[in-house]
Amino acid sequence: MSNDIFVLIEHRDGVVAETSFELIGKAKELAGESGGAAVAVILGDGAATLTGKLGAADRAIVIDGPGVAQFTPTGYTAALKPVLGEHEPLLMLFPNSAVGMDVAAGLSQAADLPLAAYAVDLKLADGQPVVTSQVYGGKINAEMKFTKGRGIVTVIAGSFPADAGQQDGSPEIQSVSTDASDSRVRFKKLIAPEAGDVDITKESVLVSVGRGVEEEDNIELAQELADALGGAVSASRPVVDAGWLPKTRQVGKSGLKVKPKLYLAVGISGAPEHLEGMRDAELIIAVNSDENAPIFSVAHYGVVGDLFDLLPSLTEKIQERVG
Amino acid sequence: MGMEPNTKKIDGYVERDNVVIDGMDISGHWNRMLEPRWLQDYSTDAMDWVTSLKGAESLSWCYQCAKCVPVCPVEHVGSYGPRKLVRKVQLGNNLMEDPDLWLCTSCAACLRVCPKAVDMIQIMPALREQAVLEGKIPDELADAFSSMEQHGNPLGQPARKRVAWTKGLDVDVPILSKIQKPVDVLWYVSDYTSYHPRGHDAARAMARVLTTLGIDFAILGQEEKCDGDSPRAAGERGLFEMLAEQNIETFEKYEFDKLVVMDPHAYNAFKNHYPKMGGEYNVLHYTQLLVDYIDKMEFKGSVDATVTYHDPCYLGRHNGEYDAPRKLLEAIPGVKLTEMPHYKATGFCCGGGGGGMWLDGLAADHQSERLSERRVREAVGTGADVLSVACPYEPSRFEDAVKSTGNAGSLDVLDIIELIDRAMHPDAEA
Amino acid sequence: MKILVVMKQVPDLADELEISDDGNSLDPDAVTWVLNEFDDHALEEALQLKDALGGSVAALALGSEAVDKALFTALAKGADEAKKVGEFEGGVSSHVAAEAFAAAIGGMEYDLILTGVQAIDDLDGQVGPLLATKLEIPHVSVVTHVEVSGDAKSVTVHQEYAGGVLAEFEVDLPAVLGIQAARATPRYAPVSRVRQLQKEASLETIDGAPSGTSGLEVERLFVPETGGHAEMIEGDEDEAAEKIVNILEERGLLPK
C-alpha cells in the first residue's frame, strides 16, 4: 500500500490529452500532502516517446506489450489490474472521457476497487481522499469518501488547471512489459471526422443552437444571424444526434472545444457536457426560455425570451447597423 | 325561375328496373340513388376493414356527391375532402401510410352539409387510432404526444411552471389545493393559456375581469393537465383516456358549481367525452359565463376598432355557440363588429384542430399555404383592425400568419377577454 | 440474434430535486422516476437491430414501484419480453445494479447486451462495464455505431472521442455495449398500445436480493453555487435585441 497518486495518461495519434496534465497537476498537489508520489501511467505504442512531456510527475510507469499496443477498454483493464494490485496507490485518477469511463468502471469491478465518478474536486482530509462529484445533470454535487480509504476516480475535464501538470522533461521511468491482453476486443482504426465545410474552432463568432430550436427548419434563423455577424452555426449534442447538423459542428465534451470572441448560445440549456466545450469563450450571450437554465451561470449576458422572435429581430438590427 | 325551355317533362317518370329514355338506357336497381353503387372490379376489403372499426361505419354511406369538397378548408389550400378519402378506400389504398390520414382538422364543415351523415368526426379518430397502434405517427405529432404524456402539456414545459403567469399579477388567483374550499367557478386555464406568452396575456385579463365582477373562482394550478381532446381526435385514444382519468381524479377532490374553460377543445372534451369516463360537469365556455354579466361590466375605457370574430370550430360548429362571443364584443364600447365571408356555421378552420396544431410541418408539404394564413387574409379583407378569437390555439397561429402573409402592423390578434379587459381596466399594467 | 437491454430509472431532471433532511440523499417524495434517457437509446438501437436482422429483444429493469410502465412501454415499442430484476427502493448504486443484473442474466442465453452509456445518478461509475466485467464478457462504451458481422459472432462498433474522432473496434459476442446514441431517435410508444398491454400482459420478476456495495460513503449532497451569473437583459425580444446589438457594437464585434 502506498500514498501514491496514479494518473492514467490518455494519448492519441502522438498527442497527450490536456486532461492528463490537469490530472498530473492535481496528483502532484495531493501527493505532496499524502507524502507519496505523483505517478503517470502510460500504455501502448508510442508511449515511450511521450514521456518527455510528463516532467511534472514524480515517476512514470510505461507499460508495453502486444495486448496494449492500441487502446482497447478490456486490454487496458487487463494490463492495469496487476499494476494496481502491486502498487496499491491511494488514488488512481482517470479522465471522465470515453477511455476513462470504460476502463475505470471495468477496473473497479475487476480489481474490486470502489470508483467515484464525475469528480470536479479532490482533496485529502486526515489522509483520506474526499471526492466532490457533479451529478444529476449538474444540479447536485455529492461529497464522498471511500469506505476502504482508497479507490479510483474519474474526473471531469477542465476541473483542474492544466498548466500545473505541464512540464517538459522526463520523470523517473519504470518500464513494464506485459503480455496481458484481451483479444475479444480488437482495435481496427481511428476515424477522423470528415473535413467539414466549417472548422468551428477557427471561427471568431459562433451562433450555437440547442434543443430549444425545436425543428431542423428553424436552424435557418441561426444561420441568418451567423451570416449577419460573419460567423458560423454550431450546436449542442442533441441537435447533432438528431441529424440536423453534422458532427463537425458539435460543441462539447464529445464534440469540439471552442474559444471564439462571441458565443451566442440559443436554446441551449447548458448541461455540463456542453459547458466543457465553450466556457472559455470571450463573450457568451445566452438566450433561453427557462430562467433557471444552467447556461446562465457561465454566460456573461442572458435573455429569458423566445428565440424565434429574438433571432430575426437581432439579425435585422445588425443588418441595419452595419448598413 | 321555371324550367328551361329545352327540357322535357317526362310523363310518369318512375324508377324502374328497365328505363329507356330517348334511346338512352338508364336501367338500374330501383333505389340506386340511395345506395353505394358497387364497383365489382374492386375488392371491398379495404372498405370492409374501415367500416368494421367502431366509429368508422358511416364511411361507406358516401355516394360521392361532393358537397363536402368546397366546404372543406384543407381543399382550399390543397386537394382534399372526405370524398377523396372515401374514393381512396374504395380503390383499396392503405390510408395507414398516407399523409392524407393526418391532414383533416376535424372542423366538421363536411358533416354539416353531408346528406348521408358520413361522420368524419368519428371516422378520422377511429382510423388514426389504428395507425397510432402500429406506431405510424408523424414525428412532430409523436413529440407532442410524448410531451403530453410526460409533462401534461404539449409544449414540453414542466408542470410546476403552469402557474408562472400568475406572478406579478395585480389580482389574486386562488389555487384549489391551497384554499381547500368550495368555489362557484373552477376556471380550467388549459395548456396554451398557461404556457404561451400570448396565453399569459389572456389569462391575466381573465383573472382581472373575474375579480372585478366578483365571481368566486379558483384554478387547479400545477395539478391541471391537458384535457386530451386533441390527442383523442388524432387517434391516441389511450393518451386521452390517461389524461381524462388524471383530470377526473383531480376534479373529484374539489367542490365547484361550474367548470369554465377558455379553450373550446377542453369544452368539447369535458362536455362530450368526459361523461363516458365518469366525469360529468356543468361546463361553460368563458363567453357563455360572462355574457350573463354584461350588465355588471363597468367599462372605464373603450376599444375603438373594427373587430371581426373567428368562430372556433369546437365552440361553433361542434357545440353550437355563436352568439355569446358576439354579444360580448358588441357590448364593448367602441367596437364595431364586422363579419368575414366564412362566419358562424360556415366558419373557416385555423388548422389547429384534430392534431393540426402539431402537424404544420406535414401540412406545409401538402398545402399551398397554412389554413391560418388563408383565414388571416380573409380577416384582412374585411378591413378589420382586430381579429378577435376565443381559443388559445389562435393567438400564436394567427399572429404567425399575420407576419408570414406580410400583414404585420395591419391586423391585431386578440382574445375577446383581452378586449373586455382593456375596456374595463384601461390602466392595468400587465 | 437475442439482445438484452438493461435499463434503470433515474430521477426526472425536470423536477426541482430536493435533498432530504439527512443531507446525503435525495428526498424520495420530490422525485419522479423516469427511464434513463441513454437506456431508451439502447432500447431503440436494439429494436433497430431486430428490425434489420430479426431475432428478439428482452428488456430488463431493476424492479421498483415505477418501473412497470417503462417495461410495458418497451413491449409497446416492440420488445419481445420485459422482466423485472429483484425489488429495489428508489435508486441503487451502479455496483449493486450490476450485481443484480449479472445474477439474473447469468442463467440466460443472449448474443448482445445493450445499455445506456451512463446515467445521471452514476456516482460510482457506469453499469455497462461493471456488468460486463462481472459476466466476464468484453465491453465497449460511448458507442454510436453498431454493425453485426455476417456470421453474427462479432460486432463492429465506433467509440466516440472528443472532437468527433472515432475508434473502430471489432468485438466478439457476447458483449456489453454502452450506447451513447441510437441510430435513430427513440420511437414514441403510443399510450393506447401501452394501456392495451397493461390490461393484457403481465411482467415477470426475476428474484434477486440487493447485494454488493459501491464502496463509497456519501457525506453530503449539496446544490453547487453557481460561480457568478449572467447579467440579464430586460425587455421584450425587440428591446433585448437592440441592447445586444449595442453591446456587440461597443465590443467591436459587428462586421465592418
All partners of chain B with 3 or more CB pairs under 8 angstroms: A, C
Distance from CA of C192 to the nearest CA of B (A): 4
B287 and B168 co-located in one domain: yes
Cβ neighbours of residue B22 closer than 8 Å, sequence gap 6 or more: none
Say if residues C77 and C184 touch (Cβ distance below 8 Å): no
> Does C191 contact B135 at a Cβ distance shorter than 8 Å?
no
B192 and B234 co-located in one domain: yes
All partners of chain C with 3 or more CB pairs under 8 angstroms: A, B
pTM: 0.79
- Give the per-residue pLDDT at C185: 84
B285 and B171 co-located in one domain: yes
B126 and B176 co-located in one domain: no
Contacting residues of A for B197, CB less than 8 Å apart: 306
Say if residues C155 and C114 touch (Cβ distance below 8 Å): no
The parts of chain B modelled with pLDDT lower than 50 are 1, 3
Taking only the tens of pLDDT, chain C with its 256 residues reads 999 999 999 998 877 788 988 888 888 888 888 899 999 999 999 999 999 999 999 999 998 878 999 999 999 999 999 999 998 887 789 999 999 999 999 989 999 999 999 999 999 999 999 999 999 999 999 999 999 999 999 999 999 987 778 999 999 999 999 999 999 888 889 999 999 999 998 899 998 777 888 899 999 999 877 656 889 999 888 999 999 999 999 998 998 7
B311 and B227 co-located in one domain: no
- Give the per-residue pLDDT at B28: 66
Distance from CA of A215 to the nearest CA of B (A): 9
Map grid coordinates 363579419 to a residue.
B339
**Which chain A residue lies closest to C222 (C-alpha atoms)?**
A141
B73 and B164 co-located in one domain: no
- Give the per-residue pLDDT at C24: 84
B378 assigned to some structural domain:
yes
CA angle B119, B120, B126 (to 5 degrees): 105
* Helices within B218-352 (DSSP H only): 229-233, 237-252, 264-268, 286-290, 323-331
d(Cα C190, Cα C142) in Å, to the nearest integer? 29
B188 and B262 co-located in one domain: yes
Does A143 lie at the interface with B, CB-CB under 8 angstroms? no
- Give the per-residue pLDDT at C13: 80
Say if residues C113 and C215 touch (Cβ distance below 8 Å): no
**B-proximal residues of A, 200-219, CB under 8 Å:** 215, 217
Distance from CA of C229 to the nearest CA of B (A): 22
B179 and B127 co-located in one domain: no
B16 assigned to some structural domain:
no
> Does C190 contact B132 at a Cβ distance shorter than 8 Å?
yes
Sketch out chain C's domains with CATH numbers. 2-206 (3.40.50.620)
Distance from CA of C8 to the nearest CA of B (A): 17
CA distances from A189 to A8, B274, C156 (A): 22, 60, 11
> Does C190 contact B239 at a Cβ distance shorter than 8 Å?
yes
Distance from CA of B197 to the nearest CA of C (A): 11
All partners of chain A with 3 or more CB pairs under 8 angstroms: B, C
Domain residues for the domain of B323 are 299-424
> Does A101 contact C217 at a Cβ distance shorter than 8 Å?
no
B200 assigned to some structural domain:
yes
- Give the per-residue pLDDT at B159: 86
Residues on B contacting A at a C-beta cutoff of 8 Å? 140, 197, 361
Give the end-to-end CA distance of chain B in Å, rounded to a whole number.
60
Distance from CA of C84 to the nearest CA of B (A): 22
Report the residue of A211, A213, A215 to disrupt the B interface, i.e. the one with the largest count of B CBs within 10 Å. Answer: A215
- Give the per-residue pLDDT at A78: 95
Beta bridge partners, B178, equal none
**Residue B292, number of CB atoms within 10 A of its CB:** 11
B280 and B182 co-located in one domain: yes
d(Cα B420, Cα B328) in Å, to the nearest integer? 8
Tell which phi-psi region holds residue B235, choosing left (phi > 0), alpha (psi between -120 and 50) or beta: left
Does B399 lie at the interface with C, CB-CB under 8 angstroms? no
Q: Measured between CB atoms, which of C139, C224, C237 is closest to A306?
A: C237
B45 and B76 co-located in one domain: yes
* DSSP H or E stretch at residue A179: none
B39 and B84 co-located in one domain: yes
* Helices within chain C (DSSP H only): 37-53, 67-77, 94-106, 127-135, 191-200, 237-250
B141 assigned to some structural domain:
no
Contacting residues of B for C188, CB less than 8 Å apart: 135, 137, 142-143, 145-146
Contacting residues of B for A215, CB less than 8 Å apart: 140, 361
Report the residue of A16, A99, A121, A144 to disrupt the C interface, i.e. the one with the largest count of C CBs within 10 Å. Answer: A144
**Which chain B residue lies closest to C199 (C-alpha atoms)?**
B238
B26 assigned to some structural domain:
no
> Does C188 contact B158 at a Cβ distance shorter than 8 Å?
no
The count of domains in chain B is 3
Contacting residues of C for B150, CB less than 8 Å apart: 14, 34
CATH number at residue B359: 3.40.50
d(Cα B46, Cα C92) in Å, to the nearest integer? 52
3-state secondary structure (DSSP) of residue B277 = helix
> Does A262 contact C253 at a Cβ distance shorter than 8 Å?
yes
> Does C191 contact B142 at a Cβ distance shorter than 8 Å?
no
DSSP-assigned letter for residue B386: E
B211 assigned to some structural domain:
yes
Q: Measured between CB atoms, which of B143, B150, B236 is closest to C190?
A: B236
Domain boundary among B257, B292, B327: B292
> Does A98 contact C11 at a Cβ distance shorter than 8 Å?
no
Nearest to B332 by CA among B198, B422, B411: B422
Sketch out chain A's domains with CATH numbers. 5-177 (3.40.50.620), 200-322 (3.40.50.1220)
Contacting residues of B for A306, CB less than 8 Å apart: 197
Domain boundary among B292, B320, B339: B292
- Give the per-residue pLDDT at C32: 86
> Does B361 contact A306 at a Cβ distance shorter than 8 Å?
no
Cell reading at A91 = 488514488
> Does A217 contact B197 at a Cβ distance shorter than 8 Å?
no
B162 and B287 co-located in one domain: yes
Cβ neighbours of residue B110 closer than 8 Å, sequence gap 6 or more: B68, B71, B72, B81, B82, B118, B120
DSSP secondary structure, A203-230, as one string: -SEEEEE-GGG-SGGGHHHHHHHHHHHT
* Chain CA centroid to CA B192, Å: 14
> Does B197 contact A306 at a Cβ distance shorter than 8 Å?
yes
**Residue B162, number of CB atoms within 10 A of its CB:** 25
Map grid coordinates 492528463 to a residue.
A20
B345 assigned to some structural domain:
yes
B254 assigned to some structural domain:
yes
Domain boundary among B292, B316, B347: B292
Does B142 lie at the interface with C, CB-CB under 8 angstroms? yes
Report the residue of C43, C72, C77, C192 to disrupt the B interface, i.e. the one with the largest count of B CBs within 10 Å. Answer: C192
Cell reading at B238 = 389511450
Q: Measured between CB atoms, which of B142, B151, B241 is closest to C188?
A: B142
Distance from CA of A249 to the nearest CA of B (A): 24
Contacting residues of B for A243, CB less than 8 Å apart: none
The parts of chain A modelled with pLDDT lower than 50 are none
**Which chain C residue lies closest to A194 (C-alpha atoms)?**
C164
- Give the per-residue pLDDT at B36: 55
Contacting residues of A for C238, CB less than 8 Å apart: 309, 313
